[in-house]
Amino acid sequence: MELKVNGRIHSVAAAPDTPLLYVLREDLQLNAAKYGCGLGQCGACTVMVDGEAVLSCVVPILLLQGKEIMTVEGLGSIDKPGPMQRAFIEEQAAQCGYCIPGMMMRAQALLQKNPQTSDAEIRRQLEQNLCRCGTHMRILRAVRRAAQLMQTPETAVDTGRST
């Protein structure tokens, strides 16, 4: 079946009941989304589907026909990081880094819907993504910084969504 990831259409040979995470990492070599618990309980595998944060380890690809999937790779590149990536770099928000792609994608989904969202809402949304290093305060700062960057014209780059 065909999957649209970061604006590109991929033809995928995997069985329809394969979780999206496996296809991203093994078939498409998009390794940003991480395998944490495999049960949809830690958030490390979070990606965006049609602009909403989704746990890719429990979502079979048969549910994703015709939908737009976005991973951290779609937010920008090493040479040209997107505002969310820039903010995490500038705040040095990663310790071991395993949870960060999930945090970034959930925060991206939130800020795309409402760039002026409140701190309380950021905390509420990110609550379900676990970080075992205890980097929470830096992550929160990074998300707030990303919210500012997204409202600055020169840094509010194209996020890869072709709606």
Q: Which CB sits closer to another protein, 36 or 83?
A: 36
Q: Which CB sits closer to another protein, 58 or 133?
A: 58
**Which distant-in-sequence residues (6+ apart) come within 8 Å of 71 by Cβ?**
5, 6, 24, 30, 32, 33, 47, 48, 101, 105
Neighbours of 95 (CB within 10 A): 15
CB of 128 to another protein, least distance (A): 6
Q: Decide the pairing of beta strands 2-5 and 68-70.
A: parallel
CB of 38 to another protein, least distance (A): 9
Q: Which CB sits closer to another protein, 13 or 120?
A: 120
- Under the binding rule (CB under 8 A), the answer on residue 17 touching another protein is yes
d(CA 123, CA 111): 13
CB of 59 to another protein, least distance (A): 5
96-99 own/partner pairs: CB under 8 Å, 24+ apart: 96/132, 96/133, 98/34, 98/36, 98/44, 99/34, 99/36, 99/42, 99/43, 99/44, 99/129, 99/130, 99/131, 99/132, 99/133
- Under the binding rule (CB under 8 A), the answer on residue 107 touching another protein is no
- Under the binding rule (CB under 8 A), the answer on residue 118 touching another protein is no
Q: Which CB sits closer to another protein, 1 or 157?
A: 1
Q: Which CB sits closer to another protein, 30 or 49?
A: 49
Query: Mask 34-73, x = binds another protein (CB under 8 A)?
Result: -----xxx-------xx-xxxx--xxx-xxx---------
Binding site for another protein (CB under 8 A): 16-17, 39-41, 49-50, 52-55, 58-60, 62-64, 120, 128
